[in-house]
Protein backbone atom coordinates (compact mmCIF):
# COMPACT_ATOMS: atom_id res chain seq x y z
CA UNK A 1 0.00 0.00 0.00
CA UNK A 2 2.82 2.41 0.81
CA UNK A 3 4.36 1.80 -2.60
CA UNK A 4 1.02 2.55 -4.29
CA UNK A 5 0.59 5.77 -2.30
CA UNK A 6 4.10 6.90 -3.17
CA UNK A 7 3.46 6.21 -6.84
CA UNK A 8 0.19 8.16 -6.69
CA UNK A 9 1.91 11.07 -4.97
CA UNK A 10 4.71 11.08 -7.54
CA UNK A 11 2.17 11.07 -10.37
CA UNK A 12 0.26 13.93 -8.77
CA UNK A 13 3.45 15.98 -8.39
CA UNK A 14 4.35 15.26 -12.01
CA UNK A 15 0.92 16.41 -13.19
CA UNK A 16 1.15 19.57 -11.13
CA UNK A 17 4.58 20.35 -12.51
CA UNK A 18 3.37 19.80 -16.07
CA UNK A 19 0.35 22.01 -15.46
CA UNK A 20 2.57 24.68 -13.96
CA UNK A 21 4.88 24.59 -16.95
CA UNK A 22 1.91 24.94 -19.30
CA UNK A 23 0.48 27.87 -17.32
CA UNK A 24 3.84 29.59 -17.21
CA UNK A 25 4.21 29.17 -20.98
CA UNK A 26 0.72 30.63 -21.46
CA UNK A 27 1.59 33.50 -19.15
CA UNK A 28 4.68 34.36 -21.19
CA UNK A 29 2.65 34.77 -24.37
CA UNK A 30 1.72 38.28 -25.38
CA UNK A 31 -2.01 37.59 -25.58
CA UNK A 32 -2.92 41.07 -26.81
CA UNK A 33 -0.46 40.73 -29.67
CA UNK A 34 -1.71 37.22 -30.38
CA UNK A 35 -5.28 38.51 -30.68
CA UNK A 36 -4.14 41.29 -32.99
CA UNK A 37 -2.34 38.79 -35.23
CA UNK A 38 -5.39 36.52 -35.25
CA UNK A 39 -7.42 39.50 -36.47
CA UNK A 40 -4.84 40.32 -39.14
CA UNK A 41 -4.88 36.73 -40.38
CA UNK A 42 -8.68 36.74 -40.67
CA UNK A 43 -8.54 39.84 -42.85
CA UNK A 44 -5.64 38.43 -44.90
CA UNK A 45 -7.66 35.34 -45.78
CA UNK A 46 -11.10 36.94 -46.16
CA UNK A 47 -10.93 38.00 -49.81
CA UNK A 48 -8.46 35.29 -50.84
CA UNK A 49 -10.86 32.65 -49.59
CA UNK A 50 -13.71 34.15 -51.58
CA UNK A 51 -11.62 34.38 -54.75
CA UNK A 52 -10.42 30.81 -54.30
CA UNK A 53 -14.01 29.62 -53.89
CA UNK A 54 -14.99 31.43 -57.08
CA UNK A 55 -12.13 29.84 -59.00
CA UNK A 56 -13.19 26.42 -57.72
CA UNK A 57 -16.71 26.87 -59.04
CA UNK A 58 -18.59 27.99 -55.94
CA UNK A 59 -21.95 29.72 -56.34
CA UNK A 60 -21.04 33.26 -57.30
CA UNK A 61 -24.42 34.66 -56.26
CA UNK A 62 -23.95 33.30 -52.73
CA UNK A 63 -20.51 34.90 -52.44
CA UNK A 64 -21.85 38.17 -53.84
CA UNK A 65 -24.62 38.12 -51.21
CA UNK A 66 -22.07 37.64 -48.40
CA UNK A 67 -20.29 40.83 -49.47
CA UNK A 68 -23.49 42.69 -50.32
CA UNK A 69 -22.41 43.13 -53.92
CA UNK A 70 -23.96 42.39 -57.32
CA UNK A 71 -22.57 39.39 -59.18
CA UNK A 72 -21.27 41.59 -61.99
CA UNK A 73 -17.74 42.78 -61.26
CA UNK A 74 -17.44 40.63 -58.12
CA UNK A 75 -13.96 39.37 -59.04
CA UNK A 76 -12.69 42.91 -59.52
CA UNK A 77 -14.27 44.06 -56.25
CA UNK A 78 -12.64 41.21 -54.31
CA UNK A 79 -9.23 41.92 -55.86
CA UNK A 80 -9.51 45.63 -55.03
CA UNK A 81 -10.56 44.98 -51.44
CA UNK A 82 -7.82 42.38 -51.01
CA UNK A 83 -5.24 44.95 -52.11
CA UNK A 84 -6.53 47.49 -49.58
CA UNK A 85 -6.53 44.89 -46.80
CA UNK A 86 -3.00 43.76 -47.67
CA UNK A 87 -1.70 47.33 -47.51
CA UNK A 88 -3.31 47.95 -44.12
CA UNK A 89 -2.06 44.62 -42.76
CA UNK A 90 1.48 45.35 -43.92
CA UNK A 91 1.49 48.65 -42.03
CA UNK A 92 0.43 46.81 -38.86
CA UNK A 93 2.99 44.03 -39.32
CA UNK A 94 5.78 46.50 -40.00
CA UNK A 95 4.95 48.23 -36.72
CA UNK A 96 4.87 44.93 -34.84
CA UNK A 97 8.27 43.86 -36.15
CA UNK A 98 9.72 47.27 -35.32
CA UNK A 99 8.50 46.90 -31.73
CA UNK A 100 9.08 43.19 -31.06
CA UNK A 101 11.14 41.73 -33.87
CA UNK A 102 9.47 38.87 -35.71
CA UNK A 103 6.47 37.69 -33.62
CA UNK A 104 7.42 34.02 -33.25
CA UNK A 105 5.90 31.13 -31.35
CA UNK A 106 7.53 32.09 -28.03
CA UNK A 107 5.82 35.47 -28.16
CA UNK A 108 2.43 34.64 -29.69
CA UNK A 109 2.17 30.84 -29.89
CA UNK A 110 1.13 28.66 -32.82
CA UNK A 111 -0.37 29.31 -35.38
CA UNK A 112 -0.28 33.07 -34.70
CA UNK A 113 3.49 32.93 -35.30
CA UNK A 114 2.76 32.44 -39.03
CA UNK A 115 0.48 35.47 -39.51
CA UNK A 116 3.21 38.04 -40.18
CA UNK A 117 4.74 35.60 -42.66
CA UNK A 118 1.49 35.44 -44.64
CA UNK A 119 1.21 39.22 -44.79
CA UNK A 120 4.80 39.63 -45.97
CA UNK A 121 4.51 36.76 -48.46
CA UNK A 122 1.51 38.48 -50.02
CA UNK A 123 3.36 41.79 -50.36
CA UNK A 124 5.96 43.24 -52.69
CA UNK A 125 8.30 43.95 -49.76
CA UNK A 126 9.75 40.48 -49.20
CA UNK A 127 13.32 41.72 -49.64
CA UNK A 128 12.85 44.17 -46.75
CA UNK A 129 11.61 41.54 -44.31
CA UNK A 130 13.25 38.28 -45.30
CA UNK A 131 16.23 38.73 -42.90
CA UNK A 132 13.69 38.69 -40.04
CA UNK A 133 12.03 35.59 -41.49
CA UNK A 134 15.36 33.82 -41.88
CA UNK A 135 16.38 34.59 -38.30
CA UNK A 136 13.01 33.44 -36.94
CA UNK A 137 13.33 30.16 -38.85
CA UNK A 138 16.89 29.70 -37.62
CA UNK A 139 15.70 30.16 -34.02
CA UNK A 140 12.75 27.76 -34.63
CA UNK A 141 10.25 30.52 -33.99
CA UNK A 142 8.82 29.80 -37.44
CA UNK A 143 8.88 26.62 -39.57
CA UNK A 144 11.92 26.60 -41.83
CA UNK A 145 9.80 25.57 -44.81
CA UNK A 146 8.08 28.97 -44.65
CA UNK A 147 11.40 30.75 -44.94
CA UNK A 148 12.25 28.46 -47.88
CA UNK A 149 8.96 29.32 -49.55
CA UNK A 150 9.54 33.04 -49.13
CA UNK A 151 13.11 32.77 -50.38
CA UNK A 152 11.79 31.04 -53.51
CA UNK A 153 9.25 33.77 -54.10
CA UNK A 154 11.88 36.49 -53.81
CA UNK A 155 14.11 34.66 -56.29
CA UNK A 156 11.20 34.38 -58.71
CA UNK A 157 10.38 38.08 -58.31
CA UNK A 158 14.00 38.87 -59.18
CA UNK A 159 13.86 36.65 -62.27
CA UNK A 160 16.21 34.06 -60.77
CA UNK A 161 15.94 30.28 -60.40
CA UNK A 162 14.28 29.10 -57.21
CA UNK A 163 15.80 26.51 -54.85
CA UNK A 164 12.93 24.48 -53.41
CA UNK A 165 10.42 24.47 -56.25
CA UNK A 166 7.63 26.03 -54.21
CA UNK A 167 6.59 28.69 -56.72
CA UNK A 168 4.18 28.10 -59.58
CA UNK A 169 3.99 30.72 -62.33
CA UNK A 170 1.35 31.46 -64.91
CA UNK A 171 1.20 33.67 -67.97
CA UNK A 172 -1.04 34.20 -70.95
CA UNK A 173 0.50 33.03 -74.18
CA UNK A 174 -0.54 32.10 -77.73
CA UNK A 175 -0.83 28.49 -78.85
CA UNK A 176 1.31 28.30 -82.00
CA UNK A 177 -0.81 25.51 -83.45
CA UNK A 178 -4.25 27.06 -82.92
CA UNK A 179 -3.31 30.73 -82.77
CA UNK A 180 -5.54 31.12 -79.73
CA UNK A 181 -4.58 32.68 -76.41
CA UNK A 182 -4.25 30.29 -73.49
CA UNK A 183 -3.06 30.39 -69.89
CA UNK A 184 0.18 28.48 -69.33
CA UNK A 185 1.04 27.42 -65.78
CA UNK A 186 4.26 25.72 -64.66
CA UNK A 187 6.68 25.33 -61.79
CA UNK A 188 9.10 28.27 -61.93
CA UNK A 189 12.63 27.20 -63.02
CA UNK A 190 14.70 25.47 -60.34
CA UNK A 191 18.43 25.99 -59.87
CA UNK A 192 19.40 22.37 -59.13
CA UNK A 193 16.41 20.24 -60.16
CA UNK A 194 18.21 16.94 -59.51
CA UNK A 195 18.65 17.87 -55.84
CA UNK A 196 15.32 19.59 -55.30
CA UNK A 197 13.54 16.74 -53.52
CA UNK A 198 16.44 16.31 -51.11
CA UNK A 199 16.37 20.04 -50.36
CA UNK A 200 12.61 19.93 -49.93
CA UNK A 201 12.83 17.10 -47.39
CA UNK A 202 15.57 18.92 -45.48
CA UNK A 203 13.46 22.09 -45.35
CA UNK A 204 10.43 20.20 -44.03
CA UNK A 205 8.20 19.95 -47.09
CA UNK A 206 6.09 16.76 -46.98
CA UNK A 207 5.65 16.51 -50.76
CA UNK A 208 8.10 15.85 -53.58
CA UNK A 209 8.29 18.39 -56.40
CA UNK A 210 6.18 16.04 -58.52
CA UNK A 211 3.50 15.81 -55.83
CA UNK A 212 3.63 19.55 -55.27
CA UNK A 213 3.02 20.21 -58.97
CA UNK A 214 0.18 17.67 -59.00
CA UNK A 215 -1.57 19.58 -56.20
CA UNK A 216 -1.94 22.42 -58.73
CA UNK A 217 -3.20 20.01 -61.39
CA UNK A 218 0.16 20.11 -63.18
CA UNK A 219 2.61 17.53 -64.41
CA UNK A 220 6.07 18.59 -63.28
CA UNK A 221 8.33 19.47 -66.20
CA UNK A 222 11.72 21.13 -66.29
CA UNK A 223 11.48 24.73 -67.47
CA UNK A 224 14.48 27.01 -67.94
CA UNK A 225 14.73 30.76 -67.46
CA UNK A 226 15.45 31.08 -71.16
CA UNK A 227 12.20 29.30 -72.00
CA UNK A 228 10.31 31.66 -69.70
CA UNK A 229 11.91 34.69 -71.37
CA UNK A 230 10.95 33.37 -74.80
CA UNK A 231 7.33 32.96 -73.67
CA UNK A 232 7.29 36.47 -72.20
CA UNK A 233 8.83 38.00 -75.33
CA UNK A 234 6.28 36.18 -77.45
CA UNK A 235 3.51 37.85 -75.44
CA UNK A 236 5.02 41.30 -75.97
CA UNK A 237 5.05 40.78 -79.73
Q: What is the pLDDT of residue 19?
A: 46
Q: Is the pLDDT of residue 152 over 80?
A: yes
Confidence (pTM): 0.83
For the chain, what are the domain ranges?
30-142, 157-237
Q: Is the pLDDT of residue 18 over 60?
A: no
Q: What is the pLDDT of residue 27?
A: 58
Nearest in space to 219 (alpha carbons), one of 229, 227, 209, 228:
209
DSSP 190: B
The residue among 25 and 215 whose pLDDT is bigger is: 215
Which whole-number Å values give the CA distances from 120 to 36, 106, 126, 130, in the listed order? 16, 20, 6, 9
pLDDT digits (tens, 9 = 90+) for 63-88: 999 999 999 999 999 999 999 999 99
Mean pLDDT throughout 225-230?
A: 93
User: pLDDT averaged over the chain?
Assistant: 89
Q: What is the pLDDT of residue 236?
A: 57
Mean pLDDT throughout 49-63?
A: 91
Amino acid sequence: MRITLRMCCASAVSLLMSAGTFLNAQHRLNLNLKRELDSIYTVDQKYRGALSSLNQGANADSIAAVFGRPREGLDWFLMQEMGKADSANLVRVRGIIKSYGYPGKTLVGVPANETAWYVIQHSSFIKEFIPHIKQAAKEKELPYRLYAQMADRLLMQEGKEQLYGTQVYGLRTVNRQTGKEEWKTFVWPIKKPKNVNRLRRKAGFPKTIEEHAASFGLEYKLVTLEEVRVLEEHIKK
